[in-house]
Amino acid sequence: MNNNEYVKAYQKTKQSLSTVSSSHEIIRTLMKELINSMQKIVLDIQDNKNLISSINKDITKKAINKSKSISKSLSIIYGLQTCLDFDKAQEIATNLFQLYEYCRHEIIKGFSQKNEEGIIKAIEIIKQIMEGWEEIPSLAKQA
């Protein structure tokens, strides 16, 4: 799925009140995929640090996989940012946008500097946001 598909899927579910839990499920799924992609980046960086010698073909394959993980992570973050509704909840949307932007910067910085520490911090932030999204369906049922 590319960014436009994520955004369209989210906006379609957002339009219908009967599918509130579906839109939340999409966000949770995106966040799970984001965490998985970011964890792959961390592992790739760690592998490169531990790499003493390797065949060129192996290096090329790892570079392609790393590139896919970075691209996927950045695409998901972009999708999450574009889905924020600043009209309904400006403060929450602004805070989430800033957190996503921080994570985006840490991915880029970690990749370019071959340092996984910032990406690991960003993963923890996304996990905390995801925990909040996971609580929404149960809170909606209580209301």
Residues 97-114 have pLDDT tens digits of 999 999 999 999 998 898
Q: Residue 51 has what pLDDT? A: 59
Rounded to an integer, what distance in angstroms lies between the CA atom of residue 88 and that of residue 85?
6
Q: Write out pLDDT tens, residues 6-52.
A: 455 545 545 544 444 577 788 888 999 999 999 998 988 887 666 54
Which pLDDT band, with edges at 50, 70 and 90, does 118 fall under? very high
Q: Write the class of the CATH domain 3-137.
A: mainly alpha
Domain borders along the chain are 3-137
Task: Report which of residues 131 and 63 the model is more confident about.
Answer: 131
Q: In this predicted structure, what is the pLDDT of residue 3?
A: 55
119-126 long-range CB contacts below 8 Å, 24 or more apart?
A: 119/38, 119/41, 119/42, 119/45, 120/42, 122/38, 123/35, 123/38, 123/39, 123/42, 125/99, 126/31, 126/34, 126/35, 126/38
The pLDDT value given to residue 1: 53
Tokens of 23: 């839109």
Q: Residues 45-91: pLDDT tens digits?
A: 887 666 544 555 565 566 666 778 899 999 999 999 999 999 999 99
User: Cβ–Cβ contacts within 10 Å for residue 75, how many?
Assistant: 18
- Give pTM, 2 decimals: 0.71
Distance of CA 27 to the CA centre of its chain: 10
The pLDDT score that the predictor gives to residue 71 is 92
